[in-house]
Amino acid sequence: MARTLAVLLLLLSVLSVSPADAADADPVGHWPLTPEPEVVVRFDPPADPWGSGHRGVDLLGRPGQTVLAALPGRVSFAGSLAGRGVLVVDHGSTRTTYEPVAATVAVGDEVVAGGPIGRLQSGASHCTPRTCLHWGWIEGADTYLDPLRLVGAGPVRLLPLWRDRPVDAAPLPQRSAYDGWRPLVTLRLAW
């Protein structure tokens, strides 16, 4: 009995998460569309704050579909920007963004994770003729994060044995349509 208890305590101490690791963990969020949507365009942050990239993800939806809050928080913006309905929910040090959305909540409203916040609009979507929700996650003033991390679908975070903090996996190299190209016929000239 004592041996079993000792082994159990040793196992728990090895598997336990330190407070520093817990603080670095992503919050557990909720998909903003149900059922779990297809990800049409993935997160591709810019190299520079002014550079091109995709500062969120596009989720395939349908016109009028209910949009849900990914995390609990307070609505900090609900209005139109550049002809699109935009909704922002503040979560303290981060905020989530949703567009194009016709808000069913108002600025200052408290929302719960998985609670309805609006309806998906068509026409102003990133992926016309289809209807998509552009979902973003921002930390501080302008640090864009992959919102798929909130639902466990983001990039793999690796923890090598010699490190004490996770590091993001390196992106896959971009491939060209001509990679691996070979001519159909090889001419051999005899001179």
| Residue 83 forms part of a structural domain | yes
Residue 129: the pLDDT is 84
Range of the domain at 77: 26-153
| Residue 184 forms part of a structural domain | no
Residue in the structure block whose two tokens are 């309905």: 85
* CATH number of the domain to which 95 belongs: 2.70.70.10
Q: Name the nearest CA neighbour of 25 among 165, 162, 171, 170.
A: 165
| Residue 85 forms part of a structural domain | yes
Q: Residue 109 and residue 13: Cα distance in Å, rounded?
A: 42
Phi and psi (nearest 5°) for 24? -80, -10
Helices and strands (H and E) in the chain: how many = 2, 13
**pLDDT tens, residue by residue, 60-107:** 999 999 999 999 999 999 999 988 999 999 999 999 999 999 999 999
Mean pLDDT for 162-184 is 54
Q: Residue 70 and residue 58: Cα distance in Å, rounded?
A: 14
**pLDDT band with cut points at 50, 70 and 90 for residue 47:** confident
| Residue 113 forms part of a structural domain | yes
**pLDDT tens, residue by residue, 121-155:** 987 666 878 899 999 999 998 889 999 999 987 65
Residue 12: the pLDDT is 40
| Residue 21 forms part of a structural domain | no
SS3 call for 41: strand
- Contact (CB, 8 A) for 58 and 44: no
- Contact (CB, 8 A) for 27 and 72: no
| Residue 60 forms part of a structural domain | yes
**Structural domains counted in the chain:** 1
The answer to pTM > 0.75 is no
Q: Residue 113 and residue 36: Cα distance in Å, rounded?
A: 15
| Residue 82 forms part of a structural domain | yes
